[in-house]
Structures are given as structure tokens and as C-alpha cells.
Amino acid sequence: MNGEGQVLEEESVKMEEPKERLVHMWGYLPGALPQRSPLLSPVVVRLPASVGAAGSSWKDVCGGGCGFAMAISDSGKLITWGSTDDLGQSYVTSGKHGETPEPFPLRTDASIVNAAAGWAHCVAVTDVGEVYTWGWKECVPSGKVFGDSSVSRSLEKDALDRHTSFLSEQVSPRPQGLRSSSGTGTLSAGDSKGSGEEGTKRRRVSTAKQAAESSSSSEETLSALPCLVALNPGVRIVAVAAGGRHTLALSDMGQVWGWGYGGEGQLGLGSRIRMVSSPHPIPCVETSSYAKERSMTLPRGSVSSEMQSYRVPGTYVKQIACGGRHSAVITDAGALLTFGWGLYGQCGQGSTDDELSPTCVSSLLGIPIVAVAAGLWHTICISADGDVYSFGGNQFGQLGTGSDQAETLPRLLDASILENVHTKAVSCGARHSAVIADDGKVFCWGWNKYGQLGLGDVIDRNIPSEVTIEGCIPKKVACGWWHTLLLSDSLT
């Protein structure tokens, strides 16, 4: 899951060069913590000596990952750790590294510049704009495959078991009241729509099992080795995002491409396409000077259904994010568009309907959005003024609003701890959220069963709480399923 935190802008005044770039981690990675004791407070993750020459450092941290973590070294190697054969990903997805961070065996000499992990698949971008992806087979499009397929076949049963678990994870673990689209009545996970969704999940699991059981050849596998994604000639990808079972990729021209599962509209193609096996362009932006002029005249935070008939403000997409089964993009004009599953209001459209095509979050038109992240059932975004808005599911306080009430429209966080705080970076785990302020403070909230908030305990928080990290300047945050990573510059 990811919607990765954005790298903070450089200060206009030249500062003293940091002595070292650090990665901190807190939360739980089964393979990295054999005693199954979560890290309740931030600890430093050391770059392995096997990576590059002496003095090598970290370059980036990557969001997502269920049971494993990913980061990038300054030499362009994708580093993974925490893989396990029981509570997390298979070795095909996360690498055979366990407790020790090691380079993932990608068959390319190019440097990795961006990466993301979904629940059961990973995707990485090279410095020449190529995309590699691997993991759960239905998430991986056709392309040039690298590696030994016998390794993938040996993990088929494990992958099916994990996939079955994932489908049940996507249904809310506890009932939660929701405002309906009409503004009257409530809808909970136990009501007819929630039951229908759960029934759909059961049918999908049954179909997957039948497909596996009916396979008479060992060549039919459920896990795929790394492959080079086949894109149109001239397309150069600069960023990727991974959802539960879908992937988005952003080109250097601001075009969004998508593939994988699209049954709830998370691929934004206008219909419930269950499976897209090759990258397709997603129509997000239509240029219109009138739309841009119109959007700038709206009062701050106003909602105007009339705007739905106008074209999207902006000329290209500058940022992408994937949640469990929904997606979000930001245009160069600061407009936020969402699409996909809407049961908990995670599309921010004021209803619990699915959005099959990219749709402007109209209540935010006129408020330039600069960063967005998406979790399993929720979405968090940041405005140019540094304000934090949240919407969607809130079962564990992941919206930071001070309650467990879901929000179908973006809600401005007004917690006292954020007063006079200008936030710049954001990331969402499955059920927790994290932001970085421009003064270097880090705040987390939401689910904390495994210490993923870094606050020294396992108590959930429904308002932002500051994480204590000394001796460094935080630069980027990246949340996984049960853990959180922080990239920072050391001051010591």
C-alpha cells in the first residue's frame, strides 16, 4: 500500500552537508524480528556492507510491504529485509534476506530510483525509465521474465494461502458507521453492501482455489518472477505506486498507466475491468484554461457539484498513490482526483459509491494539493498551505480526527498538536498514517497493534502524536503494513 511520503524541498539557504543518511524503522517485520517482538520506538537500520564501496549510504525508503521492508541505496540497489515464509511475503516477492537487509536480485545493471510494494507484489523503476515488477501473478503484466521459474512454482501454495488471507483482510474487521450518500441513515460492514462485498471476496477466493486445483501442469504458478514491463515505445516512467492488487505508473510526461485488478474501478478505465494484463493509459486530465480559471475563484473548501461538468484543472499528473482498492492522483494545478472502491468514503466524493473513472474531489477545488497517500480504506492529503485533510475508513483512528467515525468528504485535521505546523510529506500504511512537518517533526496516528506508530507502546491513536527522533533531520516517511520507515540526515 502505498502512497509514499514526498521528499522535502531543499532549503533555499545552503546548509552544512549531513554526515550520514539514516533509515529508522519501527513496528513489526516477522523475518527481521524472529522473537516476534515489535519495535515500539525508532531504531537505525544499517546498510549492509555488501552494498557498494565503503561509505555507501541510503538514498530512499519505499512504502508498502506486508511483512517486509524496502529501501534504495545511493548506489541504486533495491534493498529488502524482513522476508519470511509464515506471516509475510514469499521469498519471490521480498528476497531471501530475513533479518539482514540485502540487495534484491534484480537482473539489471541500471540504478533503481523509485519502488513500491503492494500486498503481494512489488514494482521498481530504473534511472532509464524502465519498470520491473514481480510477486502475485495476477498483478504482473506480460513482459520479459528474468530468473528461474522453478523457484516460483515451489511457492505456489504459500502464495495462494496468503492471497486468501488478503481477501479477508480487505473487509473491515469491525462494524463502522458511515454516512450514506443521501446524508441519512448509516451503513456498516455488516449491512447489505458490506455483506455483498464479502460475498464477492469469497467467490474470488473460490475461483482462485479452483484455478490452482485444476492446474494439471506445474508451469501454472501463482507467483511471478521479476519481469520488465512492456510499455509503448518512448514511454519513460519516473514513479510507481502499488495497491492491493493493482499498480499505477507515472511517465515523465505526466501520463498515468495502470494494470492489475480493476474490479472496483481502481484502474480508472470507466468500467469494472477485473483484470488488465498489460499497461493501459488512464485518462486523468483534459486541458482547459476555463477550468483552471474557474477553480481558482472558488472559496476555500467550498463544494460545488456544478464543477463536475467542467474539465479537470491542470495539464498533466504530477503524483500518484494506490490504496488497497482505490487510487488517487494530483495534477500540476493541485487538483486531487480519486477512483476505485468507495465503501468507506475513501474517494472523498461525499458518498460510499465506487468511482470507475478519475473524478475531482470537488470540495478541495481551490485548495492546491501537493501530496497524497492512500491506505487500505483511507486517504490523506496535504495542501500547499501545509494543512492535512483525511477521508475514508477510520476504524483504528487512521484519519486522525479524534474519533472512529468514517468521513466521506475531506476533513481538515485541527488537532492542537498540528497548530502552526506546516506539513510536507505523508504516507499511509494499511491502517495508520504518518506525516513530516517542515521543521522536521514526525507525527503518526491510527493502528498501533505492532508499534507501527513508534510511540513506545501498542495503543491506537485517533489524533496525531509526535514521534521522538533525535540527532537527525527527517526527509521522507514510508509506511508498510505493520511498520514504518523514515529517511533522515544525521546531525552527528
Give residue-wise pLDDT tens across range 128-168.
Answer: 999 999 988 888 887 655 544 443 334 334 434 444 444 44
Residue 187, all three cell numbers: 451503513
Considering its fold, how many domains does the chain have in total?
Answer: 1
pLDDT single digits (tens) 432-475: 999 999 999 999 999 999 999 999 999 999 999 999 999 999 99
**Chain Cα centroid distance, residue 175:** 24
| Count, residues in the chain | 492
| Assigned domain for 28 exists | yes
Q: What is the pLDDT, as a whole number, of residue 283?
A: 93
Q: Is residue 187 part of a domain?
A: no
Q: Which domain holds residue 359?
A: 21-171+231-490
Residues 6 or more apart whose Cβ sits within 8 Å of residue 248: 240, 241, 256, 257, 258, 282, 320, 321, 322, 327, 329
Q: All 3 cell numbers of residue 5?
A: 511520503
Q: Apex CA 67: angle with CA 65 and CA 69, to 5°?
A: 50
In sequence order, what are the residues at sequence separation of 6 or more whose Cβ sits closer than 8 angstroms to the Cβ of residue 157? Answer: none
CATH assignment at residue 36? 2.130.10.30
What are the cell numbers at 402? 479524534
Tell me which residue has cell 472523498.
348
pLDDT given for residue 183 in this prediction:
35
* Dihedral sign of CA atoms 143, 145, 150, 152 in order: negative
Q: How far apart are CA 443 and CA 317, in angstroms?
A: 27
Answer whether residue 383 is part of any domain: yes
On whether the CB atoms of residues 91 and 162 are closer than 8 A, the answer is no
Please indicate, yes or no, if residue 474 is contained in any of the structural domains.
yes
Q: Are 297 and 238 in contact (CB under 8 A)?
A: no
What are the CA-CA distances from residue 409 to residues 49, 284, 351, 367 (Å)? 48, 20, 8, 14
Q: How far apart are CA 456 and CA 452, in angstroms?
A: 10
* pLDDT at residue 20 in the model: 87
> Residue 196 domain-assigned?
no
Q: To the nearest 10°, the Cα dihedral for 28, 33, 36, 39?
A: -50
Is 7 a member of any domain?
Answer: no
Residue 292 has a pLDDT of 35
Contact 104, 78 (CB under 8 A): yes
Quick one: pLDDT at residue 465?
A: 98
For residue 210 the three cell numbers come to 479452483
Distances (CA, A) of 471 to 175, 468, 478: 42, 10, 19
**Separate counts of helices (H) and strands (E) for the chain:** 5, 29
pLDDT < 70 stretches in the chain: 2-19, 31, 33-36, 52-55, 83-92, 96-97, 143-221, 286-310
Could you tell me the CA-to-CA distances from 239 to 127, 248, 249, 383 in Å, in that order? 10, 9, 6, 21
Q: Let me know if residue 225 belongs to a domain.
A: no
In a domain, 351, yes or no: yes
